[in-house]
């Protein structure tokens, strides 16, 4: 049933290419197998969900629980109606964007700029190029710790900028996206957005995507750049020269290096601009004693 590993290095499964081991690591073959696995998981065991591993920092002490990885397994995509797409949690956002364009639909092209999966996009209301995930969501399929499945509507969630609050102890396993029939050339727009992303972001380097949420009326990257922090490094973690809201693993960064740099950037921006940056990245796991630098 699926693939279960022990002591799995999370550096293999995060876009920052660093982090400690997961005590248990599970890749289900299907939503049905996922339900069986969850029903058999001890109620007190920590569960961490991973898609493509973007927007995630696993501390060097690892995860004393189970990581459930949806990437490459929960990947079904289907056109349910002429303008309604169902995508499972492991579908890359960019793949959903391209799929929608292929069927002449508009409203999901912005997903081409999100380096994660549908599950992650639903969990945080991910956005890019002025678009956000939940405005195009008609329904979501969720699952609880007992493997019970639910079909829920957006009205059951509190949706905000990079924030989603809903029923406790449920996780997204699929989303239903209601789009519109395109009047413009969707393929051309998707290509233009992809070119913009490649020109302005450090694509191809080990990063998590954007590290901080944009404060209201401003941009985190601008505030960090004005502080003169482009290129600033702690250990192997470096603020990108291309876009200041990205932190790069230059090759040998520990998770502690990255977390220390996140904290340092927050302190500098607050000191110089009076703005408290809020991390967008999800930090999980245990820090090893003495890891964090002051």
Domain covering 77-198 assigned CATH 3.30.465.10 in the classification: yes
Is 280 one of the annotated active-site residues of the chain? yes
pLDDT in tens, 239-268: 999 999 999 999 999 999 999 999 999 999
- Domain covering 203-284: architecture: Alpha-Beta Complex (3.90)
pLDDT in tens, 129-175: 889 999 999 999 999 999 999 999 999 999 999 999 999 999 999 99
Return all residues near 213 (Cβ < 8 A) that are at least 6 apart.
161, 162, 220, 277, 278, 279, 280
Report the phi/psi class of residue 228: left, alpha or beta, with left for phi > 0 and alpha for psi in -120 to 50.
left
- Domain covering 3-69: architecture: 2-Layer Sandwich (3.30)
pLDDT in tens, 56-66: 999 999 999 99
Domain range summary for the chain, segments of one domain joined by +:
3-69, 77-198, 203-284
d(CA 93, CA 244): 23
pTM of this prediction? Answer: 0.89
**Strand partners for 49:** 68
Return all residues near 154 (Cβ < 8 A) that are at least 6 apart.
134, 137, 138, 139, 140
Q: Which pLDDT does position 140 carry in this prediction?
A: 98
**Which one is catalytic: 11, 210, 254, 260?**
210
Question: Mapping DSSP to helix (H, G, I), strand (E, B) and coil, where does residue 74 land?
Answer: coil
Q: Which pLDDT does position 289 carry in this prediction?
A: 45
| Chain-centre distance for alpha carbon 225 | 24
Q: Which pLDDT does position 58 carry in this prediction?
A: 97
Structure tokens at 143: 């699952």
CB atoms within 10 A of CB 129: 15
d(CA 18, CA 56): 10
**Which one is catalytic: 8, 88, 141, 280?**
280
Return all residues near 40 (Cβ < 8 A) that are at least 6 apart.
none
d(CA 259, CA 62): 14
pLDDT in tens, 223-236: 999 999 999 999 99
**Which one is catalytic: 162, 178, 191, 268?**
162
H helices then E strands: how many in the chain?
6, 20
Would you say how long the chain is, in residues?
294
Is 162 one of the annotated active-site residues of the chain? yes
Is pLDDT larger for residue 187 or for residue 100?
100
Helices (H), the chain: 31-40, 93-102, 118-124, 186-200, 220-226, 255-273
Return all residues near 294 (Cβ < 8 A) that are at least 6 apart.
none
């Amino acid at each position: 049933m699926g693939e279960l590993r022990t002591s799995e290095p999370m550096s293999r499964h995060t876009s920052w290419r660093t982090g400690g081991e997961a005590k248990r690591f599970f890749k289900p073959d299907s939503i049905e197998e996922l339900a069986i696995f969850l029903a058999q998981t001890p109620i007190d065991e920590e569960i961490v969900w991973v898609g493509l591993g973007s927007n995630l920092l696993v501390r060097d002490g690892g995860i004393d629980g189970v990581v459930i990885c949806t990437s490459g397994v929960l990947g079904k995509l289907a056109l349910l109606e002429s303008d309604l797409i169902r995508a499972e949690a492991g579908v890359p956002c960019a793949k959903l964007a391209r799929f929608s364009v292929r069927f002449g639909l508009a409203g999901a092209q912005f997903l081409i700029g999100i380096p994660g999966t549908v599950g992650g996009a639903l969990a945080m209301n991910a956005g890019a190029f002025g678009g956000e995930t939940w405005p195009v969501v008609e329904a979501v399929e969720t699952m609880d710790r007992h493997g019970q499945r639910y079909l829920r509507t957006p009205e059951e969630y509190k949706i905000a900028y990079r924030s989603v609050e809903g029923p406790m102890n449920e996780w997204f396993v699929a989303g239903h996206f209601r789009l519109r029939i395109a009047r413009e050339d969707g393929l051309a727009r998707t290509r233009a957005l992809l070119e913009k992303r490649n020109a302005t972001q450090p694509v191809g380097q080990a990063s998590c995507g954007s590290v901080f949420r944009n404060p209201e009326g401003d941009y985190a990257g601008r505030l960090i750049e004005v502080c003169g922090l482009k290129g600033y490094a702690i250990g192997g973690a470096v603020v990108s020269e291309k876009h200041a809201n990205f932190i790069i693993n230059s090759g040998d960064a520990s998770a502690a290096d990255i977390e220390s740099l996140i904290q340092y950037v927050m302190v500098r921006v607050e000191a110089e601009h009076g703005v408290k940056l809020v991390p967008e990245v999800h930090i999980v796991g245990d820090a090893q004693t003495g890891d964090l630098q002051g």
